[in-house]
Amino acid sequence: MKSAMLIESKKPLVVTDINLPTKLEFGQVLVKVCYSGLCGAQINEIEAIKGPDKFLPHLLGHEGSGIVEKIGEGVTTVKLGDHVVLHWRKSSGIQSSTPKYSWNGNQVNAGWVTTFNEKTVVSENRLTVIPKDFDMRTAALFGCAVISGFGAVNNDAQVKIGQSVLIFGIGGMGLNIAYAASLVSAFPIIGVDLHNNKIEIGKKFGLTHGIVTNSSNLKNEIYNIVGNKGPEIIFETTGNARVMEQAYELTPDDGKTIFVGVPNDKISIYSLPLAFNKILTASHGGSSVPDKDIPRYIRLIKHKKISLEKLITHEFNLSEINKAIDLFRSGKAGRIILKISKEV
Q: Report if pTM > 0.85.
A: yes
302 is a domain residue: no
Based on the fold, state whether residues 219 and 324 are members of the same structural domain. Answer: no
Residues 131 and 262 grouped into a single domain: no
pLDDT per residue of the chain (344 residues) written in tens, 0 to 9: 999 999 999 999 999 999 999 999 999 999 999 999 998 889 989 999 888 999 999 999 999 999 999 999 999 999 999 999 999 999 999 999 999 999 999 999 999 999 999 999 999 999 999 999 999 999 999 999 999 999 999 999 999 999 999 999 998 899 999 999 999 999 999 999 998 989 999 999 999 999 998 667 899 999 999 998 999 999 999 999 999 999 999 999 999 999 998 888 899 999 999 999 999 999 999 999 999 999 999 999 999 999 999 899 999 999 999 999 999 998 888 899 999 997 65
300, part of any domain: no
Do 132 and 214 belong to one domain?
A: no
104 plus 120 within the same structural domain: yes
Domain assignment of residue 297, yes or no: no
* One domain for residues 191 and 264: yes
Same-domain status, 138 and 37 = yes
Same-domain check for residues 83 and 163: no
Domain holding 175, by residue range, is: 145-286
Vertex 195: Cα angle to 192 and 196 (nearest 5): 85
Residues 165 and 56 in one domain: no
Total of domains in the chain:
2
Say whether both 121 and 190 belong to one domain: no
Is residue 67 situated within a structural domain?
yes
- Same structural domain for residues 137 and 155? no
> Count of CB atoms within 10 A of residue 242's CB?
14
The CATH number linked to 211 is: 3.40.50.720
Pair 44, 152 in one domain: no
